[in-house]
Amino acid sequence: GQNIDQPTEMTATEGAIVQINCTYQTSGFNGLFWYQQHAGEAPTFLSYNVLDGLEEKGRFSSFLSRSKGYSYLLLKELQMKDSASYLCAVSDSNYQLIWGAGTKLIIKP
Amino acid sequence: NAGVTQTPKFRILKIGQSMTLQCTQDMNHNYMYWYRQDPGMGLKLIYYSVGAGITDKGEVPNGYNVSRSTTEDFPLRLELAAPSQTSVYFCASSAHGEASTDTQYFGPGTRLTVL
């Protein structure tokens, strides 16, 4: 079966760095997406990885290791507005997205 | 450019009632999707469409129907509402669907409760 695992909840302090991990087992792989979802709102696109390595975009970076079936999202200089759920999704062999349950990130002052 | 819009935002149904969730996109995207999101669970694909006149089942299609008569609109129909269909429903669209870099854009969601 297809499976994506990520921690249910994480807590971090404003100004700090946090790493949210995602492991996956899917039938085929055509890339991994990270989305941000604030409470009561729609998911919005953050990043995409298809090759191994680190993609940096401002305060957010995403890493992929295809051989390990592993990705992480790194958030630096945390701000209160970063409090949200972070969803990991893998594009499978049919280009359909398989979604993780999301990691709820709580930022404390 | 409104992106993806959904109506209604909230709805309460009684068991056995039917309703249609509306979804419209103005980005001229070929691909459209319906997901449901239950608390603590990942998004589950209900139905998707690769273009006008073409629809296909996703992971959890039972109890739902869709149609795609135009590029812009992709309504989701619930025929006999059941409590198990209580969820948040998201419509999404993407330009190509089969391009691995293709990003999905989401509507604001419809929060449905079946009592």
A5, closest residue in chain B (CA to CA)? B42
Residues sharing a CB contact under 8 Å with residue A40, sequence separation 6 or more, in sequence order: none
Is the pLDDT at A94 greater than 90? The verdict is no
On whether any CB of chain A is under 8 Å from the CB of B50, the answer is no
- Distance (Å) from the alpha carbon of A30 to chain B's nearest alpha carbon: 5
Q: Closest partner residue to A95 among B42, B58, B97, by Cβ?
A: B97
On whether any CB of chain B is under 8 Å from the CB of A45, the answer is yes
- pLDDT above 90 coverage of chain A, percent: 86
pLDDT tens-digit readout, A5-14: 999 999 999 9
pLDDT tens-digit readout, A78-90: 999 999 999 999 9
Q: Which two tokens stand for residue B50?
A: 């690769």
Average pLDDT, chain A: 95
Starting at the edge strand that comes first in sequence, how are the strands of the sheet with B76-78 ordered? B4-7, B19-25, B76-78, B64-66
